[in-house]
Amino acid sequence: MKTADAATIAGGVPGIDLMEAAGRAVADAARGMCPVPCTVAVVCGPGNNGGDGFVGARLLAEWGYPVRLMLLGSRAALRGDAAVAAKRWAGEAERFDAGTLKGCGLIVDALFGAGLTRDLDGEAKAAVERINASDCPVLAVDVPSGVDGDSGRVRGVAVKATKTVTFFRYKPGHLLLPGRMLCGERVLAQIGIPDAVLPEIGSRSFHNVPALWRAGYPEPSLESHKYTRGHALVAAGSEMAGAARLASRASLRAGAGVVTVAASTEMLPIFKAALEAVIVRAMDDLDDYAHLLEDKRRNALLVGPGAGLGADTRDRVRMALGAGRPVVLDADALTSFETQPRAMHQAIAASDRPVVMTPHEGEFRRLFRQIAEGSDSKLEKARAAAALSGAVIVLKGADTVVASPDRRAAIADNGTPWLATAGSGDVLAGIVTGLLAQNMPGFEAACAAVWLHGEAGSSIGPGLISEDLPDALPGVLKRLLS
C-alpha cells in the first residue's frame, strides 16, 4: 500500500485526496449501518488511520449525525495528511477516557491500520478493550485495530468489528484467520488508486477467487473422449478403503475422463461394489504399482488417502515422483516422510512435473517443523514450504493457502466450518488430481480445487458429510462455467 500510495501521489493525486476518499467511504459505510442518525463515536489514532477517522467524522457531522471524536494522543502531534484532516474538523477532539462510549449507536475504529508495527499495550490496548466491551456495533477503518494486515494475526489485542472498510485491495489479514473473523462484513472501497500501480507493487498474493484460474479451467469440447479428459490413478493401498473411494469419486466429478483405483486384492470387492465408473486394479506390491505406471495414459497420480504409513508408501511416493507425471501427495504419503522430509524434497526436485502437497496444520508441522515454528503468518509459512520442497503447498484450514514455488500464493475464504469432517481432505486431494489429469497447471489446479471444495461445502452446510461433496460438484461447476 505504501508503493500504491506513493505511485498515485507521484501520478498527481495529492495524498490528502486519497484520505478524503477513504474517509468518505468510511462515512458512507457508517450511514449504511445507521440510516437514521445516531450518535457516532469516532475513535482516532495518531497516524493516517486516524486521519481517515477525522474525515469520516466531518462528513457524518455534515450529514446531521451527532459525532463525538475521540483521539488517542494529542492533536498537536498529528503529522502530514492526518494533521490536514484534523484541521478540517471544526469540532472538539475529546480524550479517549473510560465511560465516554455510553449512549453511542456506532463506534468507528480509526485507531491503527497499516502502520501497526508492534503489539498493542498500555493506553492503546486499553482503548481496544474498551471498544470491545461497549456492546456497540463497530465499523473498522482499513483493518480492525490490532489485526496485522500482513498475517491476520492479533498483535496483543484487537478490535472485534461488525464491518470493515478497506481500500483498493484486500490485504492478507482480511482473509487469513483470525483477522477475517475480526473484520466482520468486509467492504472494499476504491479511493482513486489506479490499477496501473499493480505491476510496480508486483504482489504475488491473491484472493482465491475464480478470476485467478477460471481462464485455464478445463472444459470438454464436442471432440473430447474419455482419454482426452485425462486418466487419474489413485493408489489406495490396503487401509481405509473409504478415503480412496472419496478421492476417486471426486476426481471423476472434477472431470477426469477415467479414474483407476489400485488396491490390495482383498480390498477389490469393496471398491468394485462402491464405484461403478471407476476401474479397479490389484496392487499387492511395488511391482504391481510399477506395472500400472507403465500405461502412460494414466497421467495424474494420487498417493496418500488410505495408503497406510511406512516404507511401502514412501516407495510408492518415490515411484510416482519418478514417473514423469503430475503427482498429488496427501495424508499418509506426507506423514510417512515425517522422519526424512529431505528425502521427499529430493524426489520432488527430480520431478519436472507439478507436485501438489495437501497437508493440514498437523501434517505441515511434521514435514516443515522449522518453518512452522519460525513464522506467525500462514501465508509465509506455505510460501516458504513451497520454496523449500519445490511442490505446490495446499496448507488446509478455514483459510486454506495455496503456495507455489514461484512465490504466488492464494488465500481462500469461501469454505464453511461444516467441512471439518472426516474424509473432506480426501475429496480435496481427488479434485486436485482430477484437474491435473486434465492438464491444468499445478498452482491453478490446486487453487481451483480448494475453491470448488469450499463452494461444494458451503452449498450443503449443516449436516454435511464427505460423501456429499463430490455429488455437490455438478451444481457448483454449472454455476462456475455458465
Query: Which among ligand NPW, K ion, none contacts residue 109 (Cβ within 5 to 8 A by kind)?
Result: K ion
Give backbone dihedrals phi and psi of 379, rounded to 5 degrees, phi first. -60, -50
Q: How far is the CB of 7 from ligand NPW (least distance, A)?
A: 10
Nearer to ligand NPW, 194 or 220 (CB): 194
Lookup result for grid cell 516422510: 337
How far, in Å, CA of 331 to CA of 338, rounded?
Answer: 11
Residue 454 marked ligand-binding:
no
Q: What angle do CA 432, 207, 10 make, to 5 degrees?
A: 145
Query: Which among K ion, ligand NPW, none contacts residue 341 (Cβ within 5 to 8 A by kind)?
Result: none
CB 214: neighbour CB atoms within 10 A? 13
Q: How far is the CB of 198 from ligand NPW (least distance, A)?
A: 13
Per CB under 6 A, residues contacting ligand NPW are 1, 4-5, 18-19, 22, 45-52, 112-120, 124, 141-142, 167, 191
Nearer to ligand NPW, 142 or 413 (CB): 142
Q: Please, is 36 exposed, middle or buried when counting C-beta atoms within 10 Å of its C-beta (0-12, 13-18, 19+)?
A: exposed
Side chain identity, residue 92:
E
Per CB under 5 A, residues contacting K ion are 109, 113, 140-141, 145
Query: Which among K ion, ligand NPW, none contacts residue 52 (Cβ within 5 to 8 A by kind)?
Result: ligand NPW
Residues comprising the chain, all counted: 482
Determine which helix (DSSP H) or strand (DSSP E) holds 394, and give its type and residue range: strand 392-395
Burial profile 435-458: b = 16 or more Cβ within 10 angstroms, e = fewer: bbbbebbbbbbbbbbbbbbbbbbb
Residue 113 marked ligand-binding:
yes
Residue 145 marked ligand-binding:
yes
Query: Which among K ion, ligand NPW, none contacts residue 1 (Cβ within 5 to 8 A by kind)?
Result: ligand NPW
Residue 331 marked ligand-binding:
no
Residue 306 marked ligand-binding:
yes
Residue 351 has which C-alpha cell? 520431478
| Whether 459 contacts 476, CB under 8 Å | yes
Nearer to ligand NPW, 123 or 467 (CB): 123
The closest alpha carbon to 274, from 256, 254, 252, belongs to 252
Side chain identity, residue 358:
T
Residue 119 marked ligand-binding:
yes
Nearer to K ion, 129 or 468 (CB): 129
Q: How far is the CB of 79 from K ion (least distance, A)?
A: 18
Nearer to ligand NPW, 126 or 270 (CB): 126
Nearer to ligand NPW, 141 or 446 (CB): 141
How far, in Å, CA of 196 to CA of 157, rounded?
Answer: 36
Residue 28 marked ligand-binding:
no
Nearer to ligand NPW, 205 or 299 (CB): 205
Query: Which among ligand NPW, K ion, none contacts residue 178 (Cβ within 5 to 8 A by kind)?
Result: none
Q: How far is the CB of 150 from ligand NPW (least distance, A)?
A: 12
How far, in Å, CA of 378 to CA of 36, rounded?
Answer: 41
Residue 439 marked ligand-binding:
no
Radius of gyration of the chain (CA): 26
Binding-site members for (6S)-NADPHX are 48-52, 113-119, 142, 243, 306, 360, 426
The annotation places the binding site for AMP at 396-400, 425
In the annotated binding site for K(+), the residues are 49, 109, 145
